[in-house]
Amino acid sequence: MHGSSTRSHIQTLPLLFLLPSNHNSFIFMGALNFQERPLKLYFIPYPASGHMIPLCDIATLFSSRGHHVTIITTPSNAQLIHKSIPSHNLHLHTVPFPSREVGLPDGVENLSAVTELTNSLKVNQAVMMLRQQIQHFVEHHPPDCIVADFLFPWVDEVASKLRVPRLAFNGYSLFAICAMESVKARKDSGNSSIIQGLPHNITLNATPPKTLTRFLEPLLATELKSYGLIVNNFVELDGEEYIEHYERTTGHKAWHLGPVSLIHRTDQEKAERGHKSVVGVDEFLSWLNSKPSNSVLYICFGSLCYFSDKQLYEIASAIDASGYEFIWVVPEKKGKEDESEEEKEKWLPKGFEERNREKGMIVKGWAPQVVILGHYAIGGFLTHCGWNSTVEAVSAGVPMITWPVHDEQFYNEKLITEVRGIGVEVGAWEWSIIGFMERKTLVGRDNIEKAMRRLMDGGVEAENIRQRAQEYGKKARQAVQEGGSSHQNLTALIDDLKRLRDSKPLD
Ligand code: UDP
């Protein structure tokens, strides 16, 4: 990639191509020359909300600095993405999704669009079949850099062939990645809940399932072959100590560019991320506006987690018993219009809706999470600790009740509670392989209610946690402002990529 013959990058352009003067990534030399060509970047997101939403936000970050960004995706995902991205410099390239080949209905192209295991496997199978078409496009129109989800390890080969840098993205915090690397380094493949060698002593509430560690290990290994890792977090939350640990133990570079949800300024922009909300944003806002500060508990388990009727019943009972006001997002398969009273009573105690008509909202489907978390009335978030949800709560200064379920969520729980002190644990002990899976154990209503009270009762412990959460919220917002750590990292990364491009030997 580094060569002696450098390509001249001073271009002379006709007057027509002069860009607006506020276009700060262009330096004009004389009247018509500019020294810096924009980068041409391709982004390849994995189609699941927790992966696609942040990677598209990261694509927007690059395009907002004047670079030419193309997101490569499939038609129905392009429709989802299209709403949430500004049009300047950001393009969508679509490749057809092989729905028929895998037996999915047309238009179902995202993991978050299915509610059970068989279809989720089919979505994944179809996504893995996209390689040839994406590769064909990339090879025929080579970019300066490819930013791809780590679930597409084959991008490594494509980027090497084209001799362009590849940046990896996996949607995890660096803290979680350090923990996974530590598990990976062990001979017993993580047969323990004690994570060794990290800057803090970490004992997880559950042992990482072998299926998960075996699945992740090769992906993490390929990730380390990339030019660098993009992290949707900010340095202050992961902590310098984890960045230093990661770079020292892996020899790999991590770029903290987040929290990326903060690029969306207005409520409307925030609400456009992901799927369409089942309740209008204005309805949420006017309901929340009628509530005092920090009084409402927001409950949501991300886009891939489905609880059994019995588990939902326990949550509902805890809401009833605690008496706090709430917004509770339940999976779409619940609460359908035609659900009978008998079906409903399997997951909702009798009379729950009537009792809580004023006190709460049950959202049956997708909620505009970032808008909700950003409202002053939200005082706590009962979360599955998906990384996006976590960093979105931190950005809004909202403390959390942690209820990890699958993937890397048990690591995030420890960052939230023991390491940064911005949440309390509900006491979940069962680490599922996927969110759809029926769990063997229930988290009981008493534990849930206890955790709700611990966070929301306004006592000394709750106030200390809230104060710390608010401090991290302030730091998150500073990080993405001009001069902040993430803002500076993006500038440094862009400079690096330009240097690589401009020192690439001519073919
Ligand atoms: N999300 C949302 N509304 C919902 C459910 C999820 O806006 O009703 C968004 C949430 O804001 C986050 C993403 O979907 O950006 C979920 O990602 P996360 O990593 O938290 O969890 P996952 O869905 O990957 O388990």
**DSSP codes of every residue in 6-63:** PPP--EE--GGGPPPTT-TT--EETTTEES-PPPEEEEE--SSHHHHHHHHHHHHHHH
Ligand 1 pocket, mutate which of 56, 231, 389, 415 (most atoms under 8 A from CB): 389
Which of 51, 114, 124, 303 has most ligand 1 atoms within 8 Å of CB, for mutation?
Answer: 303
209 cis-preceded (ω within 30 degrees of 0) = no
Check pLDDT > 90 for residue 283: yes
Question: Rounded to whole angstroms, how far apart are CA atoms 189 and 452?
Answer: 35
Report d(CA 471, CA 476) in Å as an integer.
9
How large is the average pLDDT for residues 302-331?
A: 95
Tell me if 40-261+480-502 shares its fold with 265-477: yes
When pLDDT is cut at 50, 70 and 90, the band that residue 444 belongs to is very high
Contact 437, 414 (CB under 8 A): no
Residue 162, pLDDT > 80, answer yes
User: In the 8-state DSSP scheme, what is residue 112?
Assistant: G
- Cβ–ligand 1 distance for 367 under 6 Å, the answer yes
What's the pLDDT band for 333 if we cut at 50, 70, 90? Answer: low
Specify the long-range contacts of residues 80-87, CB closer than 8 Å, at least 24 apart: 80/52, 80/110, 80/274, 80/275, 81/52, 81/56, 83/272, 84/53, 84/56, 84/264, 84/269, 84/272, 84/273, 84/274, 85/56, 85/59, 85/60, 86/60
Looking at 356-434, list the stretches that DSSP marks H as alpha helix, in order from N- to C-terminal side.
Answer: 369-373, 387-395, 409-414
Region 419-423: mean pLDDT is 98
Question: Is the Cβ atom of 147 under 6 angstroms away from ligand 1?
Answer: no
Mean model confidence pLDDT for the chain: 90
| Per-residue confidence (pLDDT) for residue 437, from 0 to 100 | 76
Q: Going edge to edge, which strands form the sheet with 28-29? A: 11-12, 33-34, 28-29
- pLDDT confidence of residue 55: 97
CB of 55 shorter than 6 A to ligand 1: no
| pLDDT in the model for residue 269 | 87
Query: Is 90 exceeded by the pLDDT of residue 7?
Result: no
Counting from 1 in the atom list of ligand 1, the atom nearest the Cα of 363 is: 8
- CB atoms under 10 Å from CB of 22, counted, come to 5
CATH class of 265-477: alpha beta
User: Is any atom of ligand 1 closer than 6 Å to the C-beta of 330?
Assistant: no
Q: What is the DSSP string of 190-219?
A: S-SSEEPSSSS-EE-SSPPPHHHHHHHHHH
Predicted local distance difference test score (pLDDT) of residue 17:
26
Q: How far apart are CA 407 and CA 172, in angstroms?
A: 10
Whole-number Å distance, alpha carbon 406 to ligand 1 midpoint, is 14
* pLDDT given for residue 35 in this prediction: 52
| Atom of ligand 1 minimally distant from the CA of 392 | 11
**495 and 501 Cβ atoms separated by less than 8 Å:** no
Catalytic residue among 144, 149, 267, 407: 149
Q: What is the pLDDT of residues 354-366, one digit of tens each?
A: 999 999 999 999 9
Question: Is pLDDT at 30 greater than 50 in this prediction?
Answer: no
* pLDDT given at position 189: 57
pLDDT at 501 over 50: yes
pLDDT at 13 over 60: no
Active site annotation includes 446:
no
Task: Indicate if the alpha-carbon torsion angle 21, 27, 33, 38 is positive or negative.
Answer: negative
Q: Considering the domain delimited by 40-261+480-502, tell me its CATH architecture.
A: 3-Layer(aba) Sandwich (3.40)
CA atoms within 13 A on the CB side of 271: 17
Helix or strand run (H / E) with residue 368: none
Sheet with strand 90-94: strands edge to edge: 90-94, 68-73, 40-44, 145-149, 166-169, 228-231, 254-256
Is residue 34 over pLDDT 50? no
- Residue 304, SS3? coil
User: Please, which pLDDT band fits residue 10 given cuts at 50, 70 and 90?
Assistant: very low
Residue 8 binned pLDDT confidence (cut-offs 50, 70, 90) = very low
Nearest atom in ligand 1 to the alpha carbon of residue 390 is 20
pLDDT reading at 376 higher than 90: yes
| Region of residue 325 (left: phi > 0; alpha: psi -120 to 50; beta: else) | beta
**All structural domains of the chain with their residue ranges:** 40-261+480-502, 265-477
Of ligand 1's listed atoms, the one at least distance from the Cα of 53 is 15
Cβ(32)–Cβ(11) under 8 Å? no
pTM, two decimals, is 0.91
Query: Is 60 exceeded by the pLDDT of residue 253?
Result: yes
Give bridge partners of residue 202 from the DSSP assignment.
195
- Bridge-based pairing of strands 378-383 and 296-300 is parallel
Whether 51 is catalytic is yes
Could you give the percent of the chain with pLDDT greater than 70?
Answer: 90
- Residue 439: per-residue pLDDT: 86
Highest mean pLDDT among 211-215, 260-264, 398-402: 398-402
The answer, yes or no, to whether any atom of ligand 1 lies below 6 A from the CB of 173, is no
**pLDDT over 70 at 107, yes or no:** yes
Q: What is the pLDDT of residues 109-156, one digit of tens each?
A: 999 888 888 999 999 999 999 999 999 999 999 999 999 999 999 999
